[in-house]
Amino acid sequence: MVSRAGAVGSDVGTLTEQLIAAGYRPIVTPVAKSSDQVRLTGAAMSPKLVEPGDLFVAVTGARAHGADFIDEVVDRGAAAVLTDPAGVVKVREAAGYRLPVIEVAGVRDAAGPAAAVIYGTTATSDPALFGVTGTNGKTTTTYFLRSLLRAVLTPQGRKTGLIGTIEIAAGEERIASEMTTPEAVALHKLMHSFREKNVAAAAMEVSSHAISYQRISGLYYDVAGFTNLTQDHLDLHGTMEEYFAAKADLFRRSRTRTSVITVDDVPGHQMAAEATGHVVTLSTTGKPAQAHWEVTDAEPAGLGSAFTLVHRDSGERIRTSTALPGAFNVSNAALAAVMVLEAAVSGERRQDFQRHDVVEALETAQPFHIQVPGRMQVIAEQPAAIVDFAHNPDAMIRALEAVRRPSGRLIMVIGAAGERDVTKRPTMGAIAVRMADHVIISDDDPHGEDPAEIRAGLLYGARDAIATGGLTTVLEEIAPRPAAIDAAVAAAGPEDTILLAGRGHEVHQDVAGTRVEIDDREELTRTLQARGFNTLDGGA
């Protein structure tokens, strides 16, 4: 297939015309009659990332306005500025009329479409985008997506991409990720980089923050998938209704060609009802739901599960499996499978995704037999020692159900992030003592909050649950986290299970602005080996 990379760049006049066509009503303050011909070869939102020829997108931040740094971006070679009315005043006061200024009312919303014009991003340009949103399961589902896409596209000589919490990857080239979804201008620059690197399809986590802050503005998704919706991020959204509305914005016809919605609960059914465009539903619980696709015949297969995908209308049956434990990973794998299957039969890219190739990969290539960093990651088997990112009530329940074995005790280390939704802390503490036999409450990422106060919120819910439920759960408070991990291993026997929850793949803690190096996976491995247990990396 011929690549649709296209040339990078636009002049101010063309950019302004495109913004007008999109309804942004820009006002251009020129420096001369030739301002429309000023050439833009890139875009940046951070002053430190501005390069010669860039459009500098100056937005209002938490502590300052981007236009406060206009002297720096002029020195760096910015060719023009996109900003709001307040930014225009700041630019003119500091820089006079040295460069054109494009004024829009909603600069953060317009940043994506502006960058799309400059970098050549369109609804049919490579890569094909597969976006995943929901409270839990985004990371695992995107890793499953990339693995399946790789199985289909690699024989064609095409590459796959990944954008998410853990990393950004183009083929085998990996870049550390600092946020689940980068800012809009960075995303469009990344899309152009993907095209240059022959990336035909990319899987992307889409957080509610990214949607609310317009980071995905100007992007168009071939397929978007929905996992689930449970309490989280209420520090940003305030209510579950607002949280739902943010997620639902991804599934508009103007943003996504095909929506695949998991309808295992009430929010899923609501999301399917509100989505516009081509909507495909998926049921993964084994309960009749009249969904387009359903998971049936799920059964244990090693640590993971084998299952069948059945299409309601055609009766087609596809047998596949995942190596990751837990029913929720069956849901994640099924969502990834249906998203790629639907991409093969709809939209502009049938030549990229031959359906028979997708079915063959699902049935024979084991695309979901991969390790996802910090997601139900097994470190040892005797005792079973697992690291997971579960950091909200629903994810904790799913993780605890997945690791509970018929015999032996379940020992859990849990904390909570500071400066985040405080209302979930007592609930998390209560869940931990109800479902585990031994709970150690420690620290996660305190940020600027007092770690003892964070632990107190978890302890309050845990102690109340023990008292009211007559539980015999062992409850301890141990900090710092390495000491808690050591205590968990010291308490475990070969038949027991240790679950470190909350941090997953993260490799440092933020404690009052100080970076404290700690990786739960490495710490658990080291502690197990020190106490004479074998780990899966071969150490003892």
Which stretch of 2-16, 133-147, 148-162, 288-302 has the lowest confidence by average pLDDT?
2-16
Query: Residue 467's pLDDT is what?
Result: 98
Report which secondary-structure segment, H or E, holds 282: strand 278-283
| Bridge partners for 321 per DSSP | 306
- The answer to whether 64 touches 88, Cβ cutoff 8 Å, is no
* For residue 141, pLDDT beyond 50: yes
Q: How many residues does the chain have?
A: 540
Query: Higher-confidence residue: 207 or 225?
Result: 225
Average pLDDT over residues 238-262: 91
Average pLDDT over residues 374-378: 91
* Region 10-119: CATH code: 3.40.1390.10
* For residue 2, pLDDT beyond 60: no
Q: Is 195 marked as binding a ligand?
A: no
pLDDT tens across 77-123, in order?
999 999 999 999 999 999 888 899 999 999 999 999 999 999 999 98
Q: Is 171 marked as binding a ligand?
A: no
Phi/psi region, residue 315 (left: phi>0; alpha: psi -120 to 50; beta: rest), is: left
* For residue 222, pLDDT beyond 70: yes
Q: How confident is the model at residue 537 (pLDDT cuts 50, 70, 90)?
A: confident
Query: Residue 151's pLDDT is what?
Result: 96
3-state secondary structure 430-450: HHHHHHCCEEEECCCCCECCC
Q: Is 321 marked as binding a ligand?
A: no
- Give percent of the chain with pLDDT exceeding 70: 94
Q: Is 423 marked as binding a ligand?
A: no
Q: Which residues contact 512 (CB under 8 A, 6 or more apart)?
A: 446, 447, 448
Q: Which sequence spans correspond to the domains of the chain?
A: 10-119, 128-365, 377-531
Residue 370's identity, in one-letter code, is I
Would you give the DSSP letter of residue 299?
E
User: Would you call 269 exposed, middle or buried from its count of C-beta atoms within 10 A (0-12, 13-18, 19+)?
Assistant: middle
Report residue 143: phi and psi, to 5°. Answer: -65, -40
Report residue 512: phi and psi, to 5°. Answer: 55, 40
Q: Is 207 marked as binding a ligand?
A: yes
Q: Is 135 marked as binding a ligand?
A: yes
Domain boundaries 128-365, CATH class: alpha beta
Helices (H), 441-519: 451-469, 481-491
pLDDT tens across 479-509, in order?
999 999 999 999 999 999 999 999 999 999 9
C-alpha closest to that of 303 among 360, 368, 364: 368
pLDDT tens across 336-365, in order?
999 999 998 765 655 577 899 999 999 999
* For residue 233, pLDDT beyond 60: no
Q: How confident is the model at residue 66 (pLDDT cuts 50, 70, 90)?
A: very high
Q: Is 215 marked as binding a ligand?
A: yes
- Give percent of the chain with pLDDT exceeding 90: 77
Query: Residue 4's pLDDT is what?
Result: 35
Q: Is 218 marked as binding a ligand?
A: no
Cα–Cα distance for residue pair 127/99, rounded to 1 Å: 33
pLDDT tens across 391-428, in order?
889 889 989 998 998 899 999 999 999 998 899 999 99
Q: How confident is the model at residue 310 (pLDDT cuts 50, 70, 90)?
A: very high
Q: Is 142 marked as binding a ligand?
A: no
* For residue 159, pLDDT beyond 60: yes
Domains 128-365 and 377-531 share a fold: no
Which stretch of 7-21, 24-38, 518-532 has the lowest confidence by average pLDDT?
24-38
Q: Is 534 marked as binding a ligand?
A: no
Query: Residue 197's pLDDT is what?
Result: 93
Q: Give Cα 531 distance to the centre of its chain.
A: 36
Indicate the pTM of the whole model.
0.87
Q: Is 427 marked as binding a ligand?
A: no
Which stretch of 38-42, 125-129, 237-241, 423-427 has the lowest confidence by average pLDDT?
237-241
Task: Dig out the tokens for 197 from the structure.
Answer: 């690197």
Cα–Cα distance for residue pair 499/476, rounded to 1 Å: 15
Q: How confident is the model at residue 306 (pLDDT cuts 50, 70, 90)?
A: very high
CATH topology of domain 377-531: Protein-Tyrosine Phosphatase; Chain A (3.90.190)
pLDDT tens across 261-273, in order?
999 989 999 999 9
